[in-house]
Amino acid sequence: MTSGTHGAVRGAARGARPSLGSRPPYGPLVHPTPPPVLRRRPPVLAMLAATLAVLSAIVVAFFGFIALAFSGGDLSGGGGLLVAVPALLSMVLVAGAFLLLRGRSWLALTLPAGALSLTVIAAVLYGTLGDGTGGALLLAWALPGISAVLAALPGVRRWVAERNQARRAG
Q: How many Cα atoms sit within 13 Å of 167 on the Cβ side?
A: 12
- Domain membership flag for residue 58: yes
Give me the amino acid identity at 22: S
The span from the CA of 161 to the CA of 156, in Å, is: 9
- Domain membership flag for residue 107: yes
Domains held by the chain: number: 1
CB 109 within 8 A of CB 93: yes
- Domain membership flag for residue 112: yes
142-163 in b/e form (b: 16+ CB < 10 A) is bbbbbbbbbbbbeebeebbeeb
pTM: 0.71
Give me the amino acid identity at 20: L
User: In tens digits, what is the pLDDT along the chain, a chain of 170 residues?
Assistant: 555 555 454 545 555 555 555 656 666 666 666 556 667 889 999 999 999 999 998 888 887 777 777 777 776 776 677 777 888 888 999 999 999 999 999 999 999 999 988 887 877 777 666 566 666 677 778 889 999 999 999 999 999 999 999 888 87
- Domain membership flag for residue 9: no
DSSP for 98-165, please give it.
HHHHHTS-SHHHHHHHHHHHHHHHHHHHHTSS-TT-TTHHHHHHHHHHHHHHHHTSHHHHHHHHHHHH
Residue numbers of the domain that contains 95: 44-169
The span from the CA of 98 to the CA of 92, in Å, is: 10
CA-based nearest residue to 63, from 115, 120, 118: 120
- Domain membership flag for residue 20: no
- Domain membership flag for residue 23: no
The span from the CA of 87 to the CA of 77, in Å, is: 18
21: exposed, middle or buried (C-beta count within 10 Å: 0-12, 13-18, 19+)? exposed
pLDDT (0 to 100) of residue 61: 81
pLDDT (0 to 100) of residue 163: 92
- Domain membership flag for residue 13: no
pLDDT (0 to 100) of residue 34: 57
DSSP H or E stretch at residue 65: helix 44-71
